Amino acid sequence: MRPSSLHLESRCIHGGQHPEPVTGAVMPPIFTSSTFIQESPGVHKGFEYSRSHNATRFAFERCVANLESSGLDEAAERTCGGFAFASGLAATSTALELLDHASPLVCMDDVYGGTFRLLSRVRVRSAGLHPTYLDLTDPSLLEKHLAKNKAGMVWVETPTNPTLKVVDLSSIAAICRAHGAISVCDNTFATPMLQRPLELGFDMVMHSATKYIGGHSDVVGGVLVTRRADLAEKLRFLQNAVGSVMGPFDAYLALRGAKTLGLRMQRHCTSAMQIAQWLQKHPKVAKVIYPGLATHPQHALAAKQMRLNDAPAFGGMITILLKGGLDESRRFLENVHLFALAESLGGVESLIEHPAIMTHASVPAESRAKLGILDTLVRLSVGIEHVDDLIRDLDHGLSKV
């Protein structure tokens, strides 16, 4: 059976995987060798130097490429439409290398703070890039912008970090195609279990594998996947030429994590829905933002676009606004215990954080205010603990507010 004909849960385990040819090992060994023997100059087994070729990394790259429906993965034994990097930001940096110096690009207005920082504080200076930030929940804004301006790339996140805006991927992909812009979706929050942008016409997907794909908060990594052979060729070159590759130990951990992505996402989604509904009724909570709630402005779109086994599924991230101010947020965050107060998300353990002070501190205060990243805004990453224990923990924290 071709792995691509399997259900996604099975592809998490078998997608792009082959037993190791020498020993038949079912799980790929961690190939630590930095270099590989050549019989004669240029005559080798396809492996020269580990930055360019590493079989453990290739196994992970094939897995994610398969999950994201790259379509390029089955053809090649070695690598495919997937490219793994040392972090999510290393993946983003390499994707930006597809652009020529001084290129204009469009970026979703609400993105991970580090993506914003890389664009606005590094690449504007070092590569002369010209980013324009737009609220792409309204695709007509992109259409209007591209009618008058060029853009080499359009960078989308959906659901966004941290305000969980949902972008219509099919519409954005069609507009990008019509205007010749490379469309990239940061799919970290939804994961390929819920949403596969390449199937909706996107050119590329990016992941912080540090999050749901790795899933255990014990590895930092990133991945790019493309369905376009021309972009795959360029990314293969750039991955090696820029050199911020994922190491073999990390690739092993990330692949091990990816095998349970299907199971974990089911639990993240059901628990997050239950918690969001519970939070909505809590008197200390002013607002709950979760794409699964009917009150979410793009709920209908999310229900169509984010699906697990053909049923709507909205992910494990919830954002809330508390009543009060920064003091109330601090008291809440200091008094939850199962939810660990820490940056990051997507692990088996629940995490909670304050974006204005923590993950999005690099977004200027003015932009944060415009986006609604207020002092009372708290972001929850719902883990896979028993949901009753998580609700009890939140209830305790809120009782101290």
Segment lying near ligand PLP (by CB under 6 A), choices 54-62, 85-93, 289-297, 380-388: 85-93
Active-site annotation holder among 112, 133, 212, 290: 112
**Among residues 307, 226, 310, which one has the least CA distance to residue 269?**
307
Q: Which of 188, 191, 271, 376 binds ligand PLP (CB under 6 A)?
A: 188
Q: Which is nearer to ligand PLP, 187 or 298 (CB)?
A: 187
Q: Nearer Cβ to ligand PLP, position 254 or 275?
A: 254
Considering only 31, 58, 112, 155, the residue that binds ligand PLP (CB under 6 A) is 112
- Least Å from the CB of residue 253 to ligand PLP: 13
Q: 88 vs 291, which CB is nearer to ligand PLP?
A: 88
Residue 1 to residue 4: CA distance in whole angstroms: 8
Q: Is 9 in the site for ligand PLP (CB under 6 A)?
A: no
The helices-and-strands tally (H runs, E runs) of the chain is 15, 14
> Binding of ligand PLP at residue 114 (CB under 6 A)?
yes
From the CB of 300, what's the least distance to ligand PLP, in Å? 23
Query: Rounded distance, CA 189 to CA 289, Å?
Result: 14
Using CB under 6 A, which residues numbered 149 to 168 contact ligand PLP?
Answer: 157, 161
The three-state secondary structure class of 378 is strand
Tell me the backbone φ, ψ of residue 82, rounded to 5 degrees. -115, 140
**Is 237 exposed, middle or buried (CB count within 10 Å of its CB: 0-12, 13-18, 19+)?**
exposed
Closest residue by Cα to residue 190 from 221, 217, 157, 163: 157
Q: Is 165 a catalytic residue?
A: no
Residue (of 222, 213, 176) closest to 198 by Cα position: 176
Contact region for ligand PLP (CB under 6 A) — 24-32, 109-117, 292-300, 307-315? 109-117
User: Is residue 327 annotated as a catalytic residue, yes or no?
Assistant: no
SS3 353: strand
Closest CA to 110 of 363, 287, 376: 363
Which residue type does 241 have?
A
Residue 110 within binding range of ligand PLP, rule CB under 6 A: no
Tokens at residue 52, please?
A: 């360019």
Q: How many binding residues for ligand PLP (CB under 6 A)? A: 15
Strands (E), 148-199: 153-157, 182-186
**Torsional sign, CA 349, 244, 111, 80:** negative
Q: Select from 107-115, 135-143, 282-290, 379-387 the region that touches ligand PLP (CB under 6 A).
A: 107-115
List 3, 15, 16, 88, residue binding ligand PLP (CB under 6 A): 88
Residue 36 Cα to chain centre, angstroms: 33
Active-site option among 62, 211, 264, 368: 211
Residue-wise over 187-206: b if at least 16 C-beta within 10 A, else e? bbbbbbbbbbbbebbbbbbb
Q: For ligand PLP, give the closer residue by CB, 351 or 387.
A: 351
Q: Which is nearer to ligand PLP, 88 or 397 (CB)?
A: 88
Asked if 207 contacts 64 with a C-beta cutoff of 8 angstroms, the reply is yes
Q: Quick check: 222 binds ligand PLP (CB under 6 A)?
A: yes
Annotated catalytic residue 186: yes
Tokens of residue 151, six digits: 């853009």
Of 109, 186, 203, 353, which lies in the binding site for ligand PLP, with binding defined by CB under 6 A? 186
Is 58 or 112 the residue whose CB approaches ligand PLP more closely? 112
d(CA 317, CA 21): 40
Residue 112 annotated to the active site: yes
Supply φ then ψ for residue 307, to 5 degrees: -140, 145
- Residue 93 found at the interface with ligand PLP (CB under 6 A): no
Applying CB under 6 A, which of residues 56, 70, 79, 87 lies at the interface with ligand PLP? Answer: 87
208 binds ligand PLP (CB under 6 A): yes
Letter string b/e over residues 332-344, b meaning 16 or more CB atoms within 10 A of that residue's CB: bbebbebbbbeeb
CB of 22 to ligand PLP, least distance (A): 32
Residue 71 lies near ligand PLP (rule: CB under 6 A): no
Shortest distance in whole angstroms from residue 85 CB to ligand PLP = 9
Residue 97, classed as helix, strand or coil, is: coil
Nearer to ligand PLP (CB atom), residue 261 or residue 398: 261
Nearer to ligand PLP, 3 or 346 (CB): 346
Residues of this chain that bind ligand PLP (CB under 6 A): 87-89, 112, 114-115, 157, 161, 186, 188-189, 208, 210, 220, 222
Active site residues: 51, 112, 186, 211
